[in-house]
Amino acid sequence: MSAGNDIAERKMQFLFALRSKGVTDARVLEAMEKIDRGPFVRGLFAERAYEDMPLPIACGQTISQPSVVGLMTQALEVSPRDKVLEVGTGSGYQAAILSQLARRVYTVDRHRRLVREASEIFRAMDLTNVTTMTSDGSFGLPEQAPFDRIIVTAAAEDPPGPLLAQLKIGGIMVVPVGQSDAVQSLIKVTKGEHGFDYEELRPVRFVPLLEGLGRDT
């Protein structure tokens, strides 16, 4: 089998795995077909980029397994006019997917190295509607608020108050919530006129949402 056929076969299996795990939204599947996960996985694990598994990246972080990325994106219900905040840039893969669905994506991370490397990939892919910055994501991005959608790719003990405050009325936030690494739930929060509606989606495992900036350069 030629290299081209091999990659095509792996991508077909990749999309099949997404569907089998419950990612059924046509726009999300199209975005995940278009955005190659390969460039976001470096070093020893590059050859496993098309497997449905989380993989280690720099700064002690991970790139989430694609089916979880797909399910979180699906739950976010992003429309083409939406302005989205992502807390936890990581590899940049989730933001790249969102770039195909939203009008504008702002993504923040506490690790400068991750922001720098993700920015390079975004430029190489010509993703002009993604803005990256190094900051403490637990405080959101007040200067760009309010947001139509907020996605958090690290686990908090509770949905962070500053992020809830930066969500528009009718807006949606998807966030992993849990007291420990072992017990976490993915929560969908919808902001209404008179409060918040919480829906528990599925068990997950994410790195913790930490305050402050990382010590890397």
Catalytic residue numbers, as ranges: 64
d(CA 184, CA 193): 28
Q: Which two tokens stand for residue 164?
A: 């809830």
- Which helix (H) or strand (E) segment holds residue 181: the answer is none
Cβ atoms 71, 78 nearer than 8 A: no
Ramachandran angles phi, psi of 69, nearest 5°: -55, -45
198: amino acid identity, one letter: Y
∠ CA 213-214-216, rounded to 5°: 135
Ramachandran angles phi, psi of 34, nearest 5°: -75, -40
d(CA 70, CA 181): 21
Q: Which two tokens stand for residue 45?
A: 């694990």
* Alpha helix ranges (H) inside the chain: 3-20, 26-34, 66-76, 93-99, 112-125, 161-165
